[in-house]
Structure 1
Amino acid sequence: MNFTQAIRYAVLRELVMARRARLSTQKTQEFTHLENAHVLGQESTYWHTYTHLLMLVWGWQHKVYPEVAGQVLRIVGALSKTAIGLLPTGNTGGANVSPFKPLPLSPAHAQAINDAKHRCKLAN
């Protein structure tokens, strides 16, 4: 098992909550859940890139063009830098935060990430 598989359920839980928020027209809450999914999946090239793509779509749908532009750059970074570990831990991934700035992990996020890494070790 790799990290992408191990963190899958935690990321998907946030993405489901983002979708529910979108269907309830709670755009700020939707983006918060996308940010949470980003933090959780940041060490996986797949989840890291996927959440940035969803943030780009969010920006386009809500006509937040600085977000769209920021996400285009972040998608390139996620694709090219995640695998080599160039990640600012805890960064929420939105264009309102420097893509190089580490942020503190919430206790819940830290626990989910540590649990996923532990499952990887047990499986290998």
Structure 2
Amino acid sequence: MTQYSAARRDSDHPAAWNAIGRTHIFAQPFFALHLSARWHMLGFAIALRDWRETAGQLLRLALVPLGSLTGRLPVGNTGRARISAFRPMPVLPDLAKMISPHDKSVSR
């Protein structure tokens, strides 16, 4: 979140989206952290007046509880509205090292 905050403060929008996307990947298995990452993504989309992204984040915020309850969270998904909310993506190697080595859903 530090990198996201710094990029946002510097108006480096691509870097901010990249940082919050990485946070989202890491946070997915943890309900409160996942919800927080989504909340920040929604706030950023609103601040940018990106209404397509805002609508996508609202939908995804609503899906967080369902995904957490069912365990159907797409591993590696960066969470942007332009990417399917159900599409798994490769986890970046540095993030994979931080995620539990016991999590078999993370391909290294």
Aligned residue in 2 for 1:37: 23
Aligned residue in 2 for 1:8: none
What pairs with 1:76-91 in structure 2 (closer than 5 Å)?
76-91=62-77
Q: Deviations over 1:18-61 (max 9, x none)?
A: 00011111111111100000000111111111111111101100
1:72 pairs with 2:58: yes
TM-score (norm 1): 0.78
What SS is found at the alignment partner of 2:20? helix
Aligned residue in 2 for 1:60: 46
Aligned residue in 2 for 1:92: 78
Give the Cα–Cα distance (whole angstroms) in 1 for the partners of residues 69 and 78 of structure 2.
18
The residue identity in structure 1 corresponding to 2:74 is P
Give the Cα–Cα distance (whole angstroms) in 2 for the partners of residues 108 and 24 of structure 1.
24
Give the Cα–Cα distance (whole angstroms) in 1 for the partners of residues 29 and 12 of structure 2.
28
Q: Which has the higher contact order (CA 8 A, sep 6+)?
A: 1
What SS is found at the alignment partner of 2:82? coil
Aligned residue in 2 for 1:122: none
The residue identity in structure 1 corresponding to 2:45 is G
Q: Higher helix fraction: Structure 1 or Structure 2?
A: 1
| Unaligned segments of structure 2, at least 5 residues | 104-108
TM-score (norm 2): 0.89
What pairs with 1:13-32 in structure 2 (closer than 5 Å)?
15-32=1-18
Bigger Rg, structure 1 or 2: 1
- Count of residues paired in the alignment: 103
Q: Offset of 1:80 from its aligned partner?
A: 2.2
Give the Cα–Cα distance (whole angstroms) in 2 for the partners of residues 23 and 53 of structure 1.
17
Give the Cα–Cα distance (whole angstroms) in 1 for the partners of residues 25 and 67 of structure 2.
15
The residue identity in structure 1 corresponding to 2:82 is N
Identity of aligned residues (%): 27
Aligned residue in 2 for 1:10: none
| Unaligned segments of structure 1, at least 5 residues | 1-14, 119-124
